[in-house]
Amino acid sequence: MFKQIVAVTVMNIRSLPQRLGSSLVVVIGVACVVAVMISLLAIKEGVMQSAGRNGAPNQVIVLSSGSTAAYMGSISREQAAIVADAPGLKQGKDGKPMVDPQATIIVEVTRKSDGGSTNVGFLGESARWLSLDPNFKVVKGRMFRPAVREMIVGKNARAQFKNLDVGDHVSLRGSDWLVVGVFEANGGLAENTMVGDTDTVLAAFDRNAFQNITAQLASPADFKRFKDALTSNPQLQVDVKLQSQYIKDQLQQLTVILNFVAYFVGTVMAVGAVFGAINTMYSAVDARAREIATLRAIGFGGAAMVVSVMVEALLLAVPGALLGALVAWLAFNGSAAHIASLSFHLAVTPGLLLLGIIWSVVIGLIGGFLPAIRAAGLPVATALRAT
């Protein structure tokens, strides 16, 4: 059986140059499917990779109980002091716990691209916290000063929005702020934000309470001890999450939408590629009807015909997948993308490349199945009379 399969498959492969046009239809069709699907999924991968670049495994966020986002909470100074005394916290180089009560204000800025307005996060953070963050680096200008309405802006925010160059003044909800620096954050989503001194931000926007608290633990293993100490304290009404989990929760809706679009478009295009493969393989079977009948007449089994046609379909689909994956990687990997107020880079990962190959195998198997059954079921006598 194996020898029969190899013999028939080799004969099919040798005849491919005679059917170059129809074979290229399958290759190009699969390449288009894979390239489009990978490029769409690369958006989600880019967002997730950017989100994962900020925050260490031992970093946590403390939110008001029931708050679904960092900007929605309200934590008093007294409550913040209790959090700073909780067990499991890492000590900074200055001997103080690594805790940073933060203000998070949603403000309106103007896009450079079309002059339209959009909302971004204006964060109030301490200069101490930023100075101890290994991912943070001021690349132009200087750090903001406390008690002065100065801000530093992420490099992506500066590139995307107006009036955010060093030396610019920007009006936010009626208060004037001076841009004194530009920062990088290891390519993370934090580069889409603006940052000022916490107390100054709170005073400028008439806030008396912090919106959230970011902290670092001595070890990720201290998370449960830290969380239990806060959630069991009757003076606090807070939720505690790992920073990585919080970011994942915040991006869940976006990633679901991006996945749906990618797989929906990919499926629609894959259906077209399947029909193209079916037509091509039917044509190949019809063109070799007498050859197949002759092989059957001299003792080749139907199973050999089925497998050979399926293998031929895969041999057309897989090169299409490789071509599509190459195009997606060359065209989109590392390319800048913008969604709402977020700016990040697309990421074509090895996992996406593997997914594209798997997708092509499915297309090849489905596209070759019916023609393979037809090849195995051709009546020998009828096929031998075919001209």
Q: 343-359 pLDDT, tens per residue?
A: 788 889 999 999 988 98
Is the pLDDT score of 307 beyond 80? Answer: no
Report the alpha-carbon distance of residue 7 to residue 328 in Å, rounded: 36
pLDDT at 387: 47
Question: Final residue of a domain: which of 236, 264, 293?
Answer: 236
| CA neighbor of 332 nearest in space, from 353, 347, 351 | 347
pLDDT at 231: 93
pLDDT at 81: 94
Tell whether 349 is covered by a domain. Answer: yes
| CA neighbor of 62 nearest in space, from 233, 205, 183, 186 | 233
Q: How many domains does the chain have?
A: 2
Mean pLDDT along residues 57-63: 92
Confidence of residue 241 (pLDDT cuts 50, 70, 90): very high
Tell whether 57 is covered by a domain. Answer: no
pLDDT at 285: 62
**Which structural domain range is residue 316 located in?**
2-52+250-384
Tell whether 241 is covered by a domain. Answer: no
Distances (CA, A) of 294 to 172, 185, 232, 244, 301: 82, 69, 81, 64, 11
Q: Are residues 45 and 162 in the same domain?
A: no
Mean pLDDT along residues 121-138: 90
Tell whether 245 is covered by a domain. Answer: no
Q: Are residues 97 and 39 in the same domain?
A: no
Tell whether 61 is covered by a domain. Answer: no
pLDDT at 69: 84
Q: Are residues 343 and 377 in the same domain?
A: yes
Q: Are residues 309 and 271 in the same domain?
A: yes
Tell whether 201 is covered by a domain. Answer: yes
Confidence of residue 340 (pLDDT cuts 50, 70, 90): low
Tell whether 333 is covered by a domain. Answer: yes
Q: Are residues 86 and 152 in the same domain?
A: yes
Q: Are residues 71 and 44 in the same domain?
A: no
Question: Which of 58-72, 154-168, 372-386 is modeled with the greatest confidence?
Answer: 154-168
143 residue type, one letter: M
Q: Are residues 163 and 204 in the same domain?
A: yes
Tell whether 279 is covered by a domain. Answer: yes
Question: Final residue of a domain: which of 184, 206, 236?
Answer: 236
Is the pLDDT score of 38 beyond 70? Answer: yes
Angle between helices 302-332 and 350-377 (to 10 degrees): 150
Question: Final residue of a domain: which of 207, 236, 265?
Answer: 236
Q: Are residues 197 and 260 in the same domain?
A: no
Residue given tokens 């002091």 in the structure block? 81
Mean pLDDT along residues 240-253: 86
Q: Are residues 81 and 22 in the same domain?
A: no
Q: Are residues 254 and 369 in the same domain?
A: yes
Q: Are residues 219 and 276 in the same domain?
A: no
Mean pLDDT along residues 137-143: 95
Is the pLDDT score of 90 beyond 90? Answer: yes
Q: Are residues 189 and 291 in the same domain?
A: no
